[in-house]
Structure 1
Amino acid sequence: MRLTFWAGFWTFMLDQISKYLVVHVLNLRERGEIDVLPPFLNFRMAWNEGINFGLLNTSRWILIALALAICVWVIVWMMREKHGRLARIAAGLLLGGALGNVLDRILYGAVADFLNMSCCGFENPFSFNISDIAVFAGAFGLIFFAGEKKTR
């Protein structure tokens, strides 16, 4: 469980530090957008009040409760069964990312999304953040690695 904790802790910290720097230090909240490596990587401020890309725009408290319930379920699942190293890291990524977005909903009322990637003539209208990447990677990691049992 220690590996899950540390993976989650560093994911959460990286997410929150990146959001603080982009939203407050670079003042993306006021500027709206900054071209970093156009057209591939841009910072575009978006406040996501829904689940993903603004879908299921409902009460932030319902989304907070849902995310926390999923976190508790993942923790219990990880503690009850023996899982391999990659599954424990994946669980940490998912937990750290989910908790990063929970804190945003508490602090800002919405999730601070700022990463925008486009390529090859396709203009992506959506933004995301490090927590979103971590939740996605963690969920897929659990799908692929949760069946591997811990070996000694």
Structure 2
Amino acid sequence: MSFVIVLTLVLDQLTKKIASAVHGTFYLVPGFLKFVKATNRGIALGLFSNLSEQVLWIVLFVVVVLSLFPYMFRFSRLERVAMGFILGGALGNLLDRIRFGYVLDFLNLVFLPTIFNLADVFIIVGGGLMILGAFRGVSDEKLESGEKGRRLETRSVSEREDSIVDIQVDDTEGDKGRKGEGQRPD
């Protein structure tokens, strides 16, 4: 995840440096993507432009706390990459807010009324990947850790070989209601 955060941050800062040296408005992709330079004093996509410095520090605190989540909880590879995109993009914009007091936006999809930058793209892609990860349901680590091997191999049964089946019984009731060792409850 750290690599993704650093890569996202470097790409964001590099594109902002290039964009700051370019003047004018022109199409990057004719009829679709336009270069339009603007400063953004809000959060993402120009929202909440009247932010106070205290809110900025709260956002920084939230970003730091979120960056610790992958170390406190188990995330799949996809979710770690998504979190890296989100945190890298947020740190890129936050760094600009602290250094300059604004964020440089320079991209405009002609069918949207907003101007954004690469950090915003990474944040949106990361959010989409997190949603995709939530819908997948099974984490990559579970599949890689061998839990996929906890099913009966049909090849062994059909060839009449000895089969080993790993069965795990979860007794949620515990030993409550049992009369004694070796006896079944009636």
Query: Where on the TM-score scale, by shorter chain, does this alignment land: which range?
Result: 0.7 to 0.9
Distance 1:135 1:63, change over 3 A: farther
Instruction: Note the 1:73-84 alignment, pairs <5 A.
Output: 73-84=65-76
**Greater per-residue helix proportion:** 1
- Between the two proteins, the alignment pairs up a number of residues equal to 140
Shift of 1:21: 0.6
Could you tell me which of 3, 6, 9 is aligned with 2:3?
6
For 1:39, give the aligned amino acid.
G
Percent of aligned positions that are identical: 34
Match of 1:137 in 2: 125
Contact 2:45 2:120 in 1 (8 A): no
Is the alpha carbon distance of 1:23 and 1:95 closer, same or farther for their aligned partners in structure 2, counting shifts above 3 Å? same
CA separation in 1, counterparts of 2:75 and 2:123?
A: 18
Alpha-carbon deviation of 1:57? 1.7
Q: Secondary structure at the match of 2:98?
A: helix
Post-superposition offset of 1:5: 0.4
User: After the TM superposition, which segments of 4 or more aligned residues of structure 1 sit over 6 Å from their partners?
Assistant: none
**Structure number with larger C-alpha Rg:** 2
Secondary structure at the residue paired with 2:27? Answer: strand
Structure-to-structure mapping, 1:5-44, within 5 angstroms? 5-24=2-21, 26=22, 28=23, 31=24, 33-44=25-36
Query: Any residues of structure 2 matched to 1:17-96 within 5 Å, and which?
Result: 17-24=14-21, 26=22, 28=23, 31=24, 33-59=25-51, 61-96=53-88
Mapping of residues 98-117 of structure 1, within 5 Å: 98-117=90-109
Superimposed CA distance per residue, residues 50-79 of structure 1 (whole angstroms, 9 cap, x where no aligned partner): 123322122352453233222222122211
The 3-state SS of whatever aligns with 1:102 is helix
Give the gaps of 5 or more residues in structure 1: none
